[in-house]
Every structure is written in C-alpha cells, then in structure tokens.
Amino acid sequence: MTEAALGGIDEIPETLNKIPGGRRGQLALMEKLGGHIVKVSRACSGVTDNLPKDMETTDPAGFSKGRQIARDDFSISENLTYLQNLSDRKELQNKIQKMLPNLGNSPEAQSFRKGLQRGDLEFILDCFNCLEKNIYKSLIDDPAPNVPVNNEVKPANVGAVYYKSENIWKITQSFDFDNMGFGTLGNGDRTPLEKDLGRTLSFFAFDTKSGKFFAENAKATIKGYLERLPRKLKEAEINRLEYYIQLGIVTSYFWRCSYLAEELQGRCSGIELARPDPVVHVMQIKSFINWLKNNSFAEMVESLQSTRQMDIHRDVERKAENFRNSHGYFSKRKEGSLKEYYLGIDDKHEQIKNFK
C-alpha cells in the first residue's frame, strides 16, 4: 500500500509555510497529494474482494461517531446534539455555562473558554447537523462509488521527499490505515473517494493558526486528484466534496475538544502534553463559508476539470482502468512487473503536465 521512501522521509510541515521551493514548491506538493489519494485508494481496492458479504457498516460518513464524541466531550445527551428547538439551545448553553469554571488557566483552556462563551459549540453543531442532512440526501439521490477510503491523509501521516535540483516533490508513504473504510456491493456501505479528498483539504488548505482558507492550495490538490480520475466529477460529487471539507473541520473540532474534555467536566486531566486549541477550527470553517459567499466551489472544480490537458489525463486513466480489468494485468502481476507499469503511468501524467 505504500512506496519505499527514497532517501529518507521528511514529514510534511504542519503549517506549510516553510516548504522548500517556495510557493511554487508548495503548490507542486499539494498537486502530488491529490493524485496520491486516488493511487492509495486504487492500491487498496483489491482488499474489498475478501470482505465478508454480510458485514454491516452503518456509519460510513462518521456522523454517529461524531455525535458520540460530542456527547462524551461535553457531557450532553446525544439527542441534545441535534439542537432541534430553542429549548435545546438554552439547555446546551446552560450546561456549558455550568462547566466553564472548571477550565484552568492554561492558554489553551482560556481560549477554549472564550470560544464556548461565544457559542462555538452551538455553531459547530449547527454545521454538523446541516452537513448530515445534505450528505445523506446527496447519497440517496446520487449514490457514491464503492471504493476504499483511508481518511487520514494528514501531515503527520504522509511522507514526502523534495528533489532540490528539479524543484520536485514526491509522496513516498501514507500510513495509519486503522481508520480505513471499505464499501462493497455486498455490505451496503457507500464510502466515497471524495470524502478522502475533503478530509485532506480540511488539513492542508487552511492555516493552522489564523484559520485562513487557501484557495490556491485547494485548487492544486483538487487538480492532482482530478488528473488520476478516468472521468469528470459529477455535480453531486462536487457538492459532497464541498460538504466533506467542512465535515473534516467539524470532526477536527470534536477531536481537539477531547483534549480538554476532562478538565471541562471537572475531572483531573491525565494529559500532560500541550493540548491544541479547538478554536482554530471554528475560524477555519467560518473562513471557508465566507469564501463561498463570493466564490463558487462548483465552478472552481469545473474549471479545473474542463481543460484539454485534463481530457488527456482522463484518457490515460481510462486506458489504465481497462488494463486493470484485462488478462494482461494479471500476467504482469504474476511476473512482478506491475510496479514498472504504474511508474510508466506516472511518467505519462508528468509529460502531460509539462507539455505546453
């Protein structure tokens, strides 16, 4: 599932502000990352053939898990996470107000306190509830392909090597597969590939301190992703991608709140290390929402995939897809020459990008 690291592994910097090669190198890395997502999913697709046919996966988008985390973090009922009426909102606000005195004087705890006083949790839950409705409706109206989803393509889990002489990045490893999900016709799970891209963009397309949305980073990553697809993304897939970016940020907020949950609930925290401040994720999602007020995400994706160069990329991938279902594929796999074949595919894509 991974490629051997060439000349060592350099973890992708969390802030993305010290990337070798400057801004050009940063965008080149993002582009590689987009293609890597598709390649990892494709490499894992054979595993789904061996899954039990009666296997049930009832939470493919992670909404049940998200509610469980919100419930545990804030000591509230799962029903209250839906915020169905004004009474629910008042009850949530009262519960939070009662817990705020428990937070200590550390910088992250104080920032967390201010965020809860501003209504950050209510804002995040509103986003979560809206995304749940939109994603489920989208999947019912236009089901997603059955593909593996890694869902943990984040800076700490990706290895990359920078070739200074050529100003080129190569993604060498992707790990932490314990969160991988699979979808098959037999088990009824729909785990769309665009979920992986959305989650990845929630990490890489936003500043980790200011929360600012970097549209150019997002475009570069989406472009690399599109280059590895044999067809255009449909409208429903583009819409879901927009939703999954926001869901990724909301999920990060819940996870980071867990670092402060014990203290918030008046229990002694066993965490001694620095605890990341969840407030940045509220800033990130607000930044993205503000960007969407003046920009069309769908138009941005459509402009990327409706070019002559992208037509050629898709043609390469269609031929590769046909090859993966042919006798020639199994012959190459048996003789151990598939790696050379896929390296040749990589070279073809590089040639297309370099052709002006």
- pLDDT 10s digits, 102-153: 998 888 899 999 999 999 999 999 999 999 999 989 988 888 777 776 666 7
Q: What angle do CA 325, 326, 331 make, to 5 degrees?
A: 120
Residue 237 has pLDDT above 80, yes or no: yes
- Which residue from 284, 279, 312, 299 is spatially nearest to 203, judged by alpha carbons? 284
User: Considering only the top CATH level, what class is 10-305?
Assistant: alpha beta
Phi, psi for 84 (deg, rounded to 5) = -75, -20
In three-state secondary structure terms, 219 is helix
- Residue 221: HSE in the Cβ half-sphere, 13 Å Cα cutoff: 26
pLDDT in tens, 256-282: 999 899 999 998 776 666 778 899 999
